[in-house]
Amino acid sequence: MVKQRSALLRACLLVSLPLTALAQAPVIVEAETGTLGSSLSIAALGDVTYITGLNGTTNPTADRVASYQVTFPSAGDYDLYVRVYVGPAGGNDDSFYIPNGFGSLAWTGLYNTSQGGHSAPGSTVTVIGAAGQNVWKWIRLTNHPGTTGGIGPNAWVVPAGSLTQTFNWGSREDGLFFDKLAFGPAGTCYTVAQLDGAPGTTTCPPPPPPPPAAYTYPGPPIATGQAKFLGSAWSSGNASINFANYFNKLSPENAGKWGSAEPQRDVFNWNDLDTAYALAKNNGWPFHFHVLVWGNQQPNWIDELPVEEQLAEIHEWFAAVAARYPDIDILEVANEPLHDPPCTRENGGGGYCDALGGTGPRDSATEWTWVLNSFRLARQYFPRAKLMLNDYSIENETPQTTRYINLIKMLKSERLIDIVGLQGHAFSQSEAPPMTTYRSNLDRIAALGFPIQVTELDVDGTDDAVQLAGMRKIFPIYWDHPGVTGVTLWGYKQNSHWRNAQGAWLVWSQAGSEGAQRPAMNYIIKYVQNVLPQVSLHQQFRLGGTANGDAVGTVLGTDTDAGDVLSGWQIYTGAGSTSTASLFSIDPVTGVLSVADAAALAADPSASFKIHVSVSDGYHRSAPQRVTIVR
């Protein structure tokens, strides 16, 4: 039954305001005042009354839809804003459905609201922002990068003579709370306080800079000569132009998924997979087959079969891949077992877990029977390939890390696994620097002794600076970890990237700018190819003045990379450092050594002092080098 709520929206406007101000004021709608489907509920968090709904990964039925009759002061184009609270599950609490226009039920998924938004009263509400989760925040939905179908600048059009319009939205996750909606005239900007009811508007941010000039990266591949590979997902067409100039490892993005390779029973389409395999083999790169078993993009016909026939088809699928591609280097056997197992008999979910032995209760000995049997079959059909397990949102969630480790140990006990895959997607990177939890969990996985490969790295950011900051945060964690043997980007080209709307692409494909690299791509190239700076050897200084702040000398360093500037000088105080390190300080910019503790220095009878110093070139930090100070 659909709950009926008053849908009449009244704007209380001060008579003293000028007409232009009234015309620019946002139309604010309390979320609970609409006609709410029976699965939507009203609740309160502090003094805020909100609505929320049920989980649902398909387009919403009537019970998950809220509908509003909104009356506007004038005709024209409007921008849409929403005030929401993203729950503690973050990326699993931050999506809903929205139409691309008034009155429509042609749904578009809107995702990743956990990664932006504005909560500070003076903050201008744009599609960017960093308010995060567990806070009430405003988000601008017009041109929001999280939509699958795109909500463009002209979506919310109010025609003359029809000032009352129907607006709908549908629930997708139960941890996302809705407080208010707001419509403002297109091109008008508001602060958080103004959307909360304060009068006035604010200055809109400047438009983005013009696109850059076209460029062709000359190669060789970025990681040539490195101990680790740098790869990318590969797709046919424009998605992989100049692939061989950039990368030395390949994963087919979609061609190796069962639903792509065998869309009709016993009718295979190997075209793109053949091309990808040949490209890797002809260039001597590792070929990563993605993926044998998954809970997405599986053939629609498989979930209609009885269990016995499903198992026979799984054997046929494994055998067909093994026969056609005998030299697979890295075989991704099971993808996303913790998050998207092939147990659902609808929407390409496979529905064949039972055919592989089924699943027991969570954290029981039988929970992963279907995974173990998948790997047993893979070892049988692919005796020479390195077998990989792969999943997302592992390092950022300690309980998930523990579950993943337990599964890996089960596979290890039968010698069924060779490589551990960690996807590294943007929606798993919300932890603030220095990402202590992330690093700790990566260390826990590495302690199992298997090579780790980062399989699907991407970093969101429709703004170059935002993406660059995200890449600076996450890329060194992976690339510098001794347990990680390589990193694969999950695409790189504009308009072909699976998270194009979120701005995760790295290389332009727009006409006139083809091949131009975003700052985050330039950073990856520089970081991978950068040579470590060095503190010059055998430096010795004679102690002159002994008062606090007296200069001792300037430590020197070298760097062979053109354009790098040495900075971030540090005296090493970690394990193995000398007890005299605290007697001196070093200027982080200039490298000038000074006396830091005159009293302790005077009390120390030593004729000389040894400290260890390191320096950064903006990409890497040098090894600590000994510096001697004599009296």
Mean pLDDT of 416-423: 99
Q: Are 20 and 46 in contact (CB under 8 A)?
A: no
Q: 335, exposed or middle or buried, with CB in 10 Å at 0-12, 13-18, 19+?
A: buried
To which H or E segment does residue 487 belong? strand 484-489
501 pLDDT tier (thresholds 50, 70, 90): confident
Q: Which residues pair with residue 77 across a beta bridge?
A: 157
The pLDDT value recorded for residue 11 is 36
2 pLDDT tier (thresholds 50, 70, 90): very low
Is the pLDDT at 511 greater than 60? The verdict is yes
The pLDDT value recorded for residue 19 is 42
The pLDDT value recorded for residue 148 is 56
Active-site residue, from 32, 173, 313, 336: 336
Is there a catalytic annotation at residue 514?
no
Highest mean pLDDT of the ranges 59-63, 142-146, 345-349, 491-495: 491-495
The pLDDT value recorded for residue 500 is 86
The pLDDT value recorded for residue 106 is 82
The domain 534-630 is classified under which CATH number: 2.70.170.10, 1.10.287.1260, 3.40.50.10490, 2.60.40.60?
2.60.40.60
- The residue among 531, 608, 610, 625 whose CA lies nearest residue 570 is 625
Mean pLDDT of 571-593: 88
Active-site residue, from 32, 173, 456, 514: 456
Alpha carbons 76 and 465: distance in angstroms, whole number: 33
Domain residue extents for the chain: 19-195, 229-494+519-529, 534-630
Is the pLDDT at 353 greater than 70? The verdict is yes
To which H or E segment does residue 628 belong? strand 625-630
SS3 469: helix
SS3 140: strand
| Angle in degrees, 0-180, between the axes of helices 369-381 and 398-413, rounded to the nearest 10 | 50
The pLDDT value recorded for residue 17 is 37
Residue type, 14: L
Is there a catalytic annotation at residue 346?
no
Is the pLDDT at 8 greater than 60? The verdict is no
Is the pLDDT at 279 greater than 80? The verdict is yes
* Radius of gyration over every alpha carbon of the chain, rounded to an integer in angstroms: 29
Q: Are 208 and 223 in contact (CB under 8 A)?
A: no
Cβ-proximal residues to 323 (8 Å cutoff; 6+ apart), any chain? none
Alpha carbons 500 and 131: distance in angstroms, whole number: 22
329 pLDDT tier (thresholds 50, 70, 90): very high
The pLDDT value recorded for residue 114 is 78
Query: How crowded is residue 336: how many other Cβ atoms within 10 Å of its Cβ?
Result: 20
The pLDDT value recorded for residue 287 is 98
Sheet containing 330-335, strands listed edge to edge, beginning at the edge strand earlier in sequence: 250-252, 229-234, 484-489, 452-457, 419-422, 386-391, 330-335, 288-293
Stretch among 5-19, 134-148, 294-308, 463-477 having the lowest mean pLDDT? 5-19
- The residue among 559, 565, 577 whose CA lies nearest residue 625 is 577
Q: Does the domain spanning 19-195 belong to CATH 3.40.50.720? A: no
Mean pLDDT of 289-301: 97
pLDDT tens string 79-121: 999 999 998 777 677 889 988 889 877 888 888 787 778 999 9
Residue type, 319: A
Q: What 8-state DSSP symbol labels residue 78?
A: E
Query: What residue ranges in 172-324 does DSSP mark as E strands?
Result: 176-185, 229-234, 250-252, 288-293
Architecture of the domain spanning 229-494+519-529: Alpha-Beta Barrel (3.20)
- Give, in order, the Cα–Cα distances in Å from 9 to each of 31, 78, 166, 185: 11, 17, 12, 17
The pLDDT value recorded for residue 577 is 67
